[in-house]
Copies of this chain bind each other. A is one copy, B any other.
């Protein structure tokens, strides 16, 4: 991990055989999208999916760049927010992609955050049983996490991401300049996922973040560096375990608790966005690990202190409004796809940078722990 490199643009390659692809990271990539795409894909049609917050800023620049390079593109602008990851919107997107006569070698392009990426990627994975897919992630969260690795999906009344496919992108363009229009709150939410890589198995990176986080927020080389380190970390795990039958589950650190909290707030982003749920969830994972005598309470305190310093919520009590009874939170965890015949699977930890998969966590322990934590 070379933290001192100062080149303005970075490339992370994801070596997945015939599904290998590049992630480009740096400012101004949207303006060069057409060239980067035509250099890699055969098709000359594209269907862009974006949302109402992103479109006014970046859609025209993207369309211009595609046109310049001879790509015929149409676009669909959807409402912003988690509720857009629904079967209804999936139907709208697939219909638009088919109307645009996108063939297997043409591309669906996701221009937006994780919501647009997950939805458009799912559509790309099922139209004609799979067409090309380009991710242009515009949130910090999507640049360091959701745009890499091929997980796509939508939510159902039974829970988050319960329908989806694995469909790797053919190219990821992480334009770091677009993060300047992102709200501070959304930037912080993405930062939680970025810090997650340090907490899983990169203690040096976490320490570097404790020192350099203000520059990551401000922009400049530290931001590019932190995003590149994160993409590399995610790529390494994905290459080792593309379909999450093992090690890839480590990326769910903080997510089992986080998803339960998102469900408990009915996916109302005014109250809690995904990365905030992950922030609280990671602190809970460290605290639960300490309670189970796996990790030191000092590590839990250190993690909480850093996430709090950057302005992230770290406690269940930080969520505004009423929450359902603790049993209902546990139900949401049970329906989560990480459940295994009665025992719960959690990512727990032995310290900073020492996460591991625990697949025999008794639901009763989790219930008692959560009861306890709600009161604080």
A residues contacting B by CB (< 8 A) are: 87, 91, 94-95, 98-99, 101, 103-104, 125-130, 151, 153, 156-159, 162-166, 243, 335, 337, 339-341
**A153-B129, A156-B95 as given contacts; A103 in contact with B163, CB under 8 Å:** no
- Chain B residues positioned under 8 Å from A125 (CB to CB): 165
> Nearest Cβ in chain B — how far from A36, in angstroms?
21
Other-chain contact of A103, B91, B103, B339 (Cβ < 8 Å): B339
16 contacts between A and B (CB under 8 A): A87-B91, A94-B156, A95-B156, A98-B158, A98-B159, A99-B158, A101-B335, A103-B337, A103-B341, A126-B126, A126-B165, A129-B153, A129-B164, A129-B243, A130-B166, A130-B243
- Chain B residues positioned under 8 Å from A128 (CB to CB): 162, 337
Other-chain contact of A163, B94, B157, B166, B335 (Cβ < 8 Å): B94
- Chain B residues positioned under 8 Å from A153 (CB to CB): 129
- Chain B residues positioned under 8 Å from A159 (CB to CB): 98
Count the copies: 2
Give CA–CA (A94, B159) in the complex, Å: 12
- Chain B residues positioned under 8 Å from A101 (CB to CB): 335
- Chain B residues positioned under 8 Å from A339 (CB to CB): 103
> Which of A87, A103, A129, A157 gathers most chain B CB within 10 Å?
A129
Q: Indicate if the CB atoms of B163 and A126 lie closer than 8 Å.
A: yes
- Chain B residues positioned under 8 Å from A165 (CB to CB): 125-126, 129-130, 165
A-B pairs, top 10 by smallest CB distance, nearest first, are: A98-B158, A128-B337, A126-B163, A129-B164, A87-B91, A165-B165, A129-B166, A98-B162, A94-B163, A129-B165
- Known contacts A87-B91, A98-B159, A103-B340; 4 additional CB pairs below 8 A are A87-B87, A101-B335, A126-B164, A129-B166
Give CA–CA (A340, B128) in the complex, Å: 13
- Chain B residues positioned under 8 Å from A166 (CB to CB): 129-130
Other-chain contact of A156, B87, B98, B335 (Cβ < 8 Å): B98
Q: Indicate if the CB atoms of B163 and A127 lie closer than 8 Å.
A: yes
Give CA–CA (A99, B157) in the complex, Å: 10
Give CA–CA (A328, B324) in the complex, Å: 56
> Which of A95, A159, A339 gathers most chain B CB within 10 Å?
A95
- Chain B residues positioned under 8 Å from A335 (CB to CB): 101
- Chain B residues positioned under 8 Å from A163 (CB to CB): 94, 126-127
Give CA–CA (A335, B205) in the complex, Å: 50
Give CA–CA (A291, B127) in the complex, Å: 34
Q: Indicate if the CB atoms of B129 and A151 lie closer than 8 Å.
A: yes
Nearest CB to that of A154 among chain B residues? Answer: B126
> Nearest Cβ in chain B — how far from A86, in angstroms?
10
- Chain B residues positioned under 8 Å from A127 (CB to CB): 162-163
Give CA–CA (A165, B164) in the complex, Å: 10
Q: Indicate if the CB atoms of B337 and A104 lie closer than 8 Å.
A: yes
Give CA–CA (A335, B166) in the complex, Å: 26
- Chain B residues positioned under 8 Å from A340 (CB to CB): 103
Nearest CB to that of A339 among chain B residues? Answer: B103
Give CA–CA (A163, B130) in the complex, Å: 9
- Chain B residues positioned under 8 Å from A243 (CB to CB): 129-130
